[in-house]
Each structure stands twice: as structure tokens, then as C-alpha cells.
A and B are shown apart, each in its own frame.
Chain A
Amino acid sequence: MWSKKRGDDLSSFRNTIISISKTKKPILGIEAGRSGLVIRGLAPIFDDNNKYLGDVESIHNMNNIYLSTKNLDKEDIAVYMDKKLLPITSKFKMSNIVENAKTFKDFIFVSKSDNFNEALVTNEFFDKGKIKPTSFKMNDLTYMAFPLHSFNGETVAVMVYQLNVAEINADIRYLKLVTFIPSLLLLLIGVFLLWLISGKSIDKINVSIEGLADGAHQVTSASTQVAQASQELAESANEQASSLEETSASLEEFTSMIKQNTDSSNHAQQLASDAKQAADLGFKSMLKMTDAISEIKKSSDETFGIVKTIEEIAFQTNLLALNAAVEAARAGDAGKGFAVVAEEVRSLAQRSAEAAKSTASLITNSVENANNGVSITKEVVDVLNQISEGISKVNDIATEIASASNEQSKGIEQINITVAQMNKVTQQNAANSEEGAASAEELGAQASEVMRFVDDLKRMVEGVKDSKSASQISTSNQKRIS
């Protein structure tokens, strides 16, 4: 259908035409016309001399935009135009749309799709949407209001876009369900497995607790016994130590006595040695005396021979004197003097004989005495020999006694050392026993503590309170140890 108008004056309401006549440059965009909002493209016309002649304007309906915006069933739109444009949009103004249209302050309804729900669009939301794109949600409907600008940037309309997100919500709900149900199943399976595994573990823990409790009981009992044994051992060790101390004291006395004996025996040995030396000297002196007596006897024997010779000489002299007297008598007077001399000689011979006899007697006595002396000396020598031998034996015995005493002394010293060591060891044993007793008490206490823990663990595991608990038993044991 062709229609033509001529002579319209557009300058009063067509800003695009005013603008292009000034700028002489193409213009495009939305501008209100008599029938409402349209999209315009204005191109200037120039002649061959580049002289501006006028403009050609191509007009497109906004409905195409509205239709392309609502391209899905779940999409709907509504467009609201600035009321200021109503005087321009004379055709639109006269239509019944305007009369029944909902308005938002300065904006009036222009167009909407069938399923657009105007009731949910609020003034506040709309006011924000005039300035910039603004959205809000209401159940399954989501709205977006945004301004539509004219060619020169003025807001001439507001488009409200409605999107039904029920399908998306359903998808999300399905996704949540798909995620939740397997997760819940996994959770339940996990809990069930945990329940099973923990049940087995708890059974094992129970067995361990029982074992631990038995062990602790045994430790308590053993520690009690050890403590008692240690106490007894300590007491015995103390007694032994005191006995050893006494023994040690006795041994020390004994040692001093042995030392004294050793000294005495050494002294006796010395004395015996001195006596032996004296006896040996006596023996030697006696031998010398025997020799001297023998020499005396020999001399006496020789003297006795001389005396015999003198006696024989005196006898002969006497005989001669007798013969001389006889001769002198014969010679009478002449022989008288001779007879006197012969007499004197005979008297001398007699006296010599007598002296010789006396000397012989004395020598005989002397020889006898010498013989007695020799025999006595021999006896003395024998006695001295016996004494020397006895002294030697005494000396040997004293030496042996001294040696034995030394050995005994050394033995006693060794015994003393050993006893001292035994004493030390005994004291150490006593100390160790006391420490052992203390350790056993400590062990008992620890065992009691373990028992208490075991008891707590047992109560915790079983969830019951045992009136006769293991720890109480242990405590009684501990008291017994104390």
C-alpha cells in the first residue's frame, strides 16, 4: 500500500531531522514517532557539488526487536515509554492500549508478551531499571529492567525482561538431589563400616584391657613378693653386715695377737740363734780346754817320766852314796870326809827321791784330775752339742713358728680384706635390697596406677562402674606392700 504525505512540518517534534539538518551527518537510533517508538536511520542527500539537499529516513518498527527478544517460551518482555513522548506519539495515544496500560510514574506501558506478569514489577525496581540494568527474583520468575536510549542517549523507554527459571531451578534441584542422595548413601555406608570396624577394634581393645589388667595384677603381685623378699634380704644383709663387722673386729684382734706371736717367735728365734752361737762358742772353748787338758796331761806324763828319772837318779845316787860311805868307811880317816859328803849326797838323794815321789804323786793326781777334766770336758762338749742341737731345733721351730705366724698373719690379712669386701658387698646388698624394696614399692605403685588406668579404660569401654575394681585390688596390694 502506498501512501503519501506532503507538506508535513517535522521540525516541531523530530529531533533527528533537526539534528541532521545541522550536522549533515547520518543519524541512527530510536526516536519516537506518531505511532510510537521506532528505529530510524537518516542519511543526508548531497548533490554532485556536495550541496546538502535533504535526508532520506528509513524506519523500522520496534516490534521486530521485541519479537527477537522473546525468542523462547520462558522469555517475556514488556516495554514502557516515557510519558513525555506521548504528545509526539499521537497515534499510539489514541489507541486503547494507553487507557488500560499500567504506568510507573513517568513511564507508560507500550507493549508486552502474553505471559508477562506485570504484578510483580515494583516501582522501586523499575526506578533502578531506568538508570541501569537491574534484576530481581521472585520464585521462578526473574526480571531484568534496563533502559532503552534514543539516538542522542536519552532514556526513552524501559524494557522489562522476564525469564522463567523454573526449568533451571528444577535442574538445580535435580542436581542437588543427584549429589545429595549418593553422598547420603556414602555417609550411611561410611558410618556403618565405621560401626563395624570400631566394634572389632573395641573387641580387641577389650582383650588388650583384660591382658593389661592381668599383667598389672601379676606385676602388682610380683612387686609385692619382690618387695617382701627385698625387705627380708635387706634385713638379712644388715644382720650379716653386723656379724661381719663383729667378725672383722675379732679378726683384727686375732691379727694383732698373731702379730704379737710372730714378733715373739721372731724374738725367740733370735734368742735361740744367740744361744746356739753361745753354745757353739762354748763348744769350741771346751774343745780348746780339752786340748789344753790333754796337753797338761801329756806334760804331766812327761813330768812324771822326768820325776821317775829323777827318782831313779836319786836311787842310783843313794846307792852310790851308800857305796861311797862303805868305801869311805874302809878308807878310814882318809875317807871320813868323803863319808860325810857321801852321807850328804845320800841325804840329798833321799830328799830328791822323796820330792820325786811327792811330785810324782802330785803329777799323778794332776794327771788323774786332767783325765777327769778331759772326761768332764767331753761330757760338757756332749751336753753342749746336745744344747746346740736343741737350740738349733728350737731355732728351726721358732723359724717355722715365725714363718707360720707370718703366713697366718698374711692369711688373716687376706681374710680381713675378704671380710671387708664381704662387709662392703653385704652393705651394698643391703642397700640394693632396700633400693629393690623401694623399686618394688614404686613398681607396685606404678602397677596400681596402671590398674587405675586400666580400670578407667574398662569403665570407659564398658560404660559401667565396677564396685570391686582392679584398682581397688591393686590399692590393697599397695597398702600391703607399704
Chain B
Amino acid sequence: MKFKTKILLTPIVMFCVIFFVIGIVISTLLEKSKNKQIEDRLQLKVITVNQDIKRVSKKALSESSIFAGMPEVKKAYKKFYETNSVKKGSKILFDNVASVIKNASEITGKKRKFIFIYHQLDHLPECGQKSVVMI
């Protein structure tokens, strides 16, 4: 083997080894970065979904809270308890609340579904409920 070859063999092999090691390192880093990026994205998606669920839940609660505080709604419930008639109570609800729900659905373009639940006090503690559903 020639001296030149002998001399060059080591650095060339070292260069190649370093090159491939660096290549492997870079490749590994890129793969890690990719995996991390994907993993982060996946985790973010989980967080986003849970946050969306919370957000929508809060939205639903705020919407229901609005109706829970309306005097007409309270009046309807009082009527129900006074008469123990779902029909009478519901009439007040339909007369006063239905238009609000309808307007909101038309403005937002999304259907709203609300359930107004009466407690059947005389059947306690089984606590059966009667409901009025408005869509």
C-alpha cells in the first residue's frame, strides 16, 4: 500500500465516519424534532379538543343561565307549581321564550335545544322530572 494511501486512509476514513456520524446525528435530531413536533401537535390536539368541550360546555351553561334568570321562566315554573299543570307552565314558556330561541337560532344559523325541567315535588324522593323541550 502506498504511503499516500496510508496517510490519506485514516483521515478519509475519519472524515467519512465523522460525516456519517454527523449525518446520523442530524438525521436523528431531525427525526426527533419531527417526532417532537408531531407529538406536540397530537398533545395540542388533545388539549384543543378538551378546551373546545369546556368552551362549548361553558357556552351551553351561559345560555341556560340566561334563561334560568328570565322572570318569564320563573313565572312559568311558578305557574306549574301552582297548578301542577305542565301545559299551563309551558304555555308561558312558549309565549315568552320561544321567540328568543328562534331569533338566536336564526341569527347564529345553528339550532338551539333547550330543556326546561320541572321537579315533581309530590313524588319526592324519587324525584321524577318532567321536561319541556324547545328546539
Residues on A facing B (Cβ under 8 Å): 1-11, 14, 17-18, 21, 26-30, 39-48, 52-60, 64-65, 68-69, 75, 133, 135, 137, 142, 144, 146, 148, 151, 159, 161, 163, 165, 168-169, 172, 175-176, 179-180, 183-184, 187, 190-191, 194-195, 198-199, 202, 205, 460-463
B107 part of interface (Cβ distance < 8 Å): no
Closest 9 CB pairs of A and B: A41-B60, A41-B61, A28-B57, A43-B68, A144-B42, A461-B3, A58-B60, A53-B77, A43-B64
Query: Given A2-B134, A195-B8, does the pair A28, B129 have CB atoms closer than 8 Å?
Result: no
Assuming the contacts A11-B126, A133-B43, A172-B31, asked whether A57 and B135 have C-beta atoms less than 8 A apart, the reply is no
- Contact (Cβ within 8 A) A142 B42: yes
Contact A10 B4 (CB under 8 A): no
A4 to B116, CA, bound (A): 10
Q: Report how far A454 CA is from B88 CA in the complex, Å.
A: 120
- Expressed in whole angstroms, the minimum distance between the Cβ of A187 and any Cβ of chain B is 5
Contact indicator A47/B58 (Cβ below 8 Å): no
- Residues of chain B at interface, number, CB under 8 A: 74
Main secondary structure of the interface of B (DSSP, over half): helix
Residue from B11, B23, B45, B134 within 8 A of A4 (CB atoms): B134
Q: Is the CB of B37 within 8 A of A168?
A: yes
* A238 smallest CB distance to B (angstroms): 50
Q: Which residues of B contact A59 (CB under 8 A)?
A: 60, 113-115
B contact set with A: CB distance below 8 Å = 1-8, 11-12, 15-16, 19, 22-23, 26-27, 30-31, 33-34, 37-39, 41-43, 45-46, 48-49, 52-53, 56-65, 67-68, 73-74, 77-78, 81, 86-87, 90, 94, 98, 102, 112-119, 126-135
The one of A30, A53, A168 in contact with B34, judged by C-beta atoms closer than 8 angstroms, is A168
A191 lies within 8 A of B12 (CB): yes
Contact B61 A26 (CB under 8 A): yes
Q: Are A161 and B64 in contact (CB under 8 A)?
A: no
Question: B57 touching A21 by the CB < 8 A rule?
Answer: no
Taking a contact as CB atoms under 8 Å apart, the answer to whether B130 and A187 are in contact is: no
Distance between A275 CB and nearest chain B CB, rounded to angstroms: 102
Please measure, in the bound complex, the distance between the C-alpha atom of A191 and the C-alpha atom of B12, giving whole angstroms: 6
Evaluate contact between B53 and A30: CB separation under 8 angstroms. Answer: yes
**Cβ contact of B114, chosen from A57, A75, A159, cutoff 8 A:** A57
Query: Nearest CB to that of A159 among chain B residues?
Result: B49
Nearest chain-B residue to A9 (Cβ)? B128
Quick check: B6 and A41 within 8 Å, CB to CB?
no
Q: Mind listing 8 A-B residue pairs with CB under 8 Å? A: A4-B134, A10-B131, A39-B60, A54-B116, A60-B57, A60-B59, A69-B52, A199-B4
What are the residues of chain B within 8 A of A8 when measuring CB–CB? 129-131, 133
A45 touches B77 (CB 8 A): yes
Known A4-B90, A40-B60, A69-B48; judge A183-B1 contact (CB<8 A): no
B118, A54: Cβ atoms closer than 8 Å: yes
Q: Are A42 and B64 in contact (CB under 8 A)?
A: yes
Which residue from B3, B37, B94, B129 sits with its C-beta under 8 Å from A462?
B3
A45 to B117, CA, bound (A): 10
Query: Contacts A9-B128, A41-B64, A58-B64 given; 4 further ones with Cβ under 8 A?
Result: A42-B61, A60-B57, A135-B38, A463-B5
Q: Decide yes or no: A17 and B129 within 8 Å by CB, A3-B135, A6-B86, A59-B113 being known contacts.
A: yes
- Which B residues lie within 8 Å of A57 (CB)? 60, 64, 114-117
What is the minimal beta-carbon distance from A145 to any residue of chain B, in angstroms?
10
Q: Are B63 and A41 in touch, CB under 8 angstroms?
A: yes
